[in-house]
Chain A
Amino acid sequence: MVVGMTLSTFLQQLINGLSLGSLYALIAIGYTMVYGILKLINFAHGDIFMMAAYFAYFGISVFFLPWYVTFIITILLTMLLGAGIERMAYRPLREAPKTSLLISAIGVSFLLENLATYLFSGKPQAFPEFPVMTTPIFVGGLSIQPVSIVIPIVAFFLMTVLLFIINKTKVGMAMRAVSVDYDTAKLMGIKIDNVISSTFAIGSGLAAVGALLWCMKYPSVLPLMGVVPGLKCFIAAVIGGIGNVKGAVLGGLILGFSEVLMVAFFPSLTGYRDAVAFIILIIILLFLPNGILGKKQVEKV
């Protein structure tokens, strides 16, 4: 076990951890952005991720579109889906208690899962292979799937773009303002509905990219594929401090690394792979109840 681990295996595992962590980060951002603005945990986010995988599967395997066309269509459709869900399931509840919104989110999640099962059957579909991405290349004794390198690069590029949007554009500034004080933002003339739609569209777009990369690495598409990643990425967002984009990235990476490294160091514990996320969550929340980068909540009196 540990004794048998050489430096090269360790490096290899690090790369795997980085690539899994970046995937988690991409999805976790969607949770954290929505939470920052609506104080809502969008339980449907994992299923939006699943729908993106199906859009791509249909594009390539059923309609035989070129991959690049499919990818663009997938991202656009998923953004539309995310914004559409907000429009239909959350916007009518804008003035309702937060619990109603949460129940609505759970409802949308079940709806998407069952709709997918009904429409696409519960049978896993094989996602088209991308040999360029999956054929291992050998670098200095390491055998690496190119996709493991591509994932972090794409993820970090998108995160940089996202941080630029949040910090430098007017829609980003509006997002930050709305997350600080929703009511005042309205009074300063910010069109709240547009800001919320953009938030959902951006979060879903990132989930779509996440789904595309995910399926290249794990080429199987099924209706419940979003459940576990969705849950883990939600945990990643909480670990990092929900509402904080950098926190979501950090949380995603922590989860990715711990999961991969645990399996690598303790192969006998492989069955507990998914439990890692929860154990880390519990430990971190015991010491940092607001997450690593989360802000201390001050109760207003």
Chain B
Amino acid sequence: MSLLRTENVIMQFGGVIAVNDLNIDIKKGELAALIGPNGAGKTTAFNVITGVYTPTSGKVLFSPTDSAGVASEIDISGKRPDKITGLGIARTFQNIRLFSDLSVLENVLIATHLNINYSFLSAMLRMPKARKGEREAKEKCEFLLERMGLIDLKNEKASSLPYGQQRHLEIARALATNPQLLLLDEPAAGMNPQETDELTDLIFKLKTDFDLTIFMIEHHMDLVMEISDHIYVLDFGCTIAKGNPNEIQNDPKVIEAYLGVDEDVED
């Protein structure tokens, strides 16, 4: 069953067509990757899905499962980002965008806002309901930090963490919104091979443990080929290929546009 589909999505900025006729279909529970040379429109595609941009034309269809276990398809194109996050799509960013002045714990807590419900007044007066809501949110966040290996750093300022841990924190923050679909924008960017390996394992575990569907943009081909079920290749905004890792590696168009010079991929 599809969790996220796009139908002929076009995103145009003035004369530039950043995403041209994007048709993706991500099944529930799979791990899909979006690859392509720099400037191919990958991050723009993410921005359209998360509501940062309203597509010039086309539809983005998301089928979240509600609390009763029923999935229904909703057109989310042009909806507000916070509404889309509320429906169950969370993301991380290519250039890390943590709330630098907030502590590690607060960065995660903030993302639970959607899911705790009590009024400002009851928070001010420390009503039992607010206290309970806050405690639960805090426990959940601490659990997520524990999971991402950041629990000892929870009171540090987010900006003081080393780069790799900031990436982990972004994932923790995204998970705190209770997503069904997690979008990772170059999670391994700037990581060394060992860190990339660890990240690969982590992504895989998170996917199983949190029952996630993952869609990621990544340049580390080893990582993409190893863990993806499906790969979409963009070039100049157009989808030039889609398929499983094996098909992508052997697609002449992809080799020409993107992988051609890379000998590693040929074997």
Contact = CB atoms under 8 A, between A and B. Distances in A.
- A-B complex is real: yes
Interface of A: 165, 169-171, 173-174, 176-177, 180-181, 183-192, 198
A176 B50 CA distance: 22
Interface in B150-206: 173, 177
A170 B116 contact: yes
Main secondary structure of the interface of A (DSSP, over half): helix
Contacts of B51: 186-187
Interface in B122-142: 123-124, 134
B80 A186 contact: yes
B102 A180 contact: yes
B86 A189 contact: yes
Given A170-B109, A188-B173, 5 more contacts: A173-B106, A185-B110, A189-B82, A189-B114, A189-B177
A181 B91 contact: no
Contact of A169 (B91, B120, B173): B120
Given A170-B123, A180-B100, A180-B102, A189 B52 contact: no
B52 A173 contact: no
A290 B123 CA distance: 34
Contacts of B177: 188-189
21 contacts: A171-B120, A171-B123, A173-B110, A174-B110, A174-B113, A176-B101, A176-B106, A177-B110, A180-B100, A181-B99, A183-B81, A186-B52, A186-B81, A187-B81, A187-B82, A188-B82, A188-B110, A188-B111, A188-B177, A190-B110, A192-B82
Given A189-B82, A189-B111, A184 B102 contact: no
Interface string B78-109: 00111001100001010001011110001001
Contacts of A190: 82, 110, 113
B33 to A, nearest CB: 21
A79 to B, nearest CB: 12
A107 B80 CA distance: 29
A171 B51 CA distance: 23
